[in-house]
Amino acid sequence: MLTFTGRGHAHTCDGVTRRDFLQVGALGGVGLTLPRYLAAKEAGVVKPGHDDRACIMIFNLGAPSQLDLWDMKPEAAAEVRGPFQPVDTNVPGIQLSEILPRHAKIADKFSLVRSCYHTSAAVHDAGWQMMQTGRKFTGGVNTPHAGAVTSYLRGRKTDLPPFVVLPETMGRGGGNLPNGQAGGFLGKAYDPFALMADPSKPDFKVPDLLPPAEISTVRLERRRKMREIVDDAVKTFEATENAALLNDNFQAAFRMMTSSQARDAFDLTKEPQKVRERYGMNRFGQCCLLARKLIENGVRFITINTFLTVFDEITWDIHGSKPFTSIAGMRDIVCPMYDQAYTALIEDLSDRGMLGDTLVCNLQEFGRTPRVNPAGGRDHWPQCFTTYYAGGGVQGGRVVGASDPVGGVPAERPVEPSDVLATIFHSLGFDIETMLPGPGGRPFPLADSGHREIHELF
């Protein structure tokens, strides 16, 4: 988080006083590092023809039920199949739930993977780690989010940050674990820029994108150089790596803060009202629209959290009784919002000729239990769930893998989180044999040994 203020002083953790208008938090969130793209391309890390590739990761926080949405079992017993009926889609042989009617009309544009699983704990935060980084965090090693890896390998493309999370990073998941939406061992410089605002609100604006009114343009320009900001710092600090990083970070922050392109990209009032209503005038719908705008303006990787926590709001976490969501709540509240926004995003990207270069992947931390529980809901189940993908080279209208007759375990083509991350990197044009500088400078592979992209999607 970056805060600009007109009065007062800021101090670093080691007591260094700054000039009176800059407070430094997680400055890496604006994508503030030396560009690496040309070097990566020259080294063959980025494949030819993938220069314009981008990714929108929709993370369905709370974990939707595969059995009630994408992998229905109409022939199973009532306690397995649940209350909803399957409907035909515009692709012969593929059926989806009746509570996703808009999805059914564009099934030719996305492909399902019905055989995902992982072996981590059935805890939300553990699943968040696995599905966004490809790995479980062990031994003090926090693997970077796929967006952070993209930022590291590609750098920024325009005045906007390369990696953005909408509307903000995940909150509590119940396990008190890192959520996986950070730079991990790559460092805070690769943390995402988090919006920290609800774009559906009438007074929506991006916090800290512009300087406060009391700071004039002339005054801001006068403080542009890093030395003027840290001139109260001791020389020993100025000679450190932290000072060099702070300088790089400030220059990138200044660039975004004074950029008309950045202001326009975040300004939803420039979109016709009909377009905004097409996505839905709610937080998730407007985040999907904002994601399209940001991709148009050069952001390389965007994660949209459908919800912010599994507590205190209606989510995909359908345990069936309060304080969690009921099956009826999913049917009447969650699915209509989600169905409208997702399909609007896919159709809009397609209509604008952007879908071919933009991977939209829909992930979640795990699935739901094969049998309905006594409260009428379903509980956590990492043993089998569905993810799906559109654009970015993915061929639509396909189903990869299959679950067993009760949707409990993969029966064909098991897919692990590392395979999912390899698929994202493949779409973005990265060679998954690429090594990152891991903890202690040791090489760290993009994907674990033996894991490859889900090639049937392409």
pLDDT in tens, 351-375: 999 999 999 999 999 999 999 999 9
Question: Of 284, 379, 301, 310, which is closest to residue 171 (Cα–Cα)?
Answer: 310
- The reported pLDDT for the residue numbered 104 is 98
The whole-angstrom separation of Cα 80 and Cα 411 is: 17
The whole-angstrom separation of Cα 432 and Cα 445 is: 7
Q: Given pLDDT bands bounded at 50, 70 and 90, which one contains residue 45?
A: confident
Please tell me what DSSP assigns to residue 269. Answer: G
Angle at 381 between CA 114 and CA 454, to 5 degrees: 30
- pLDDT by residue (tens digit) across 267-279? 999 999 999 999 9
CA 38 to chain centre: 25
Residue 382 one-letter amino acid = P
Q: Is 46 helix (H, G, I), strand (E, B) or coil?
A: strand
Q: Where on the phi/psi map is residue 391: left (φ > 0), alpha (ψ -120 to 50), or beta? A: left
Domains and CATH numbers, the chain: 1-30+211-265 (no CATH), 33-209+272-457 (3.40.720.10)
Asked if 116 contacts 386 with a C-beta cutoff of 8 angstroms, the reply is: yes
Angle at 427 between CA 298 and CA 340, to 5 degrees: 70
- pLDDT by residue (tens digit) across 232-273? 544 554 555 555 555 555 556 666 766 888 889 999 999 999
Give DSSP secondary structure letters for 99-142: T-HHHHHTGGGEEEEEEE---S-S-HHHHHHHHHHSS--BTTB-
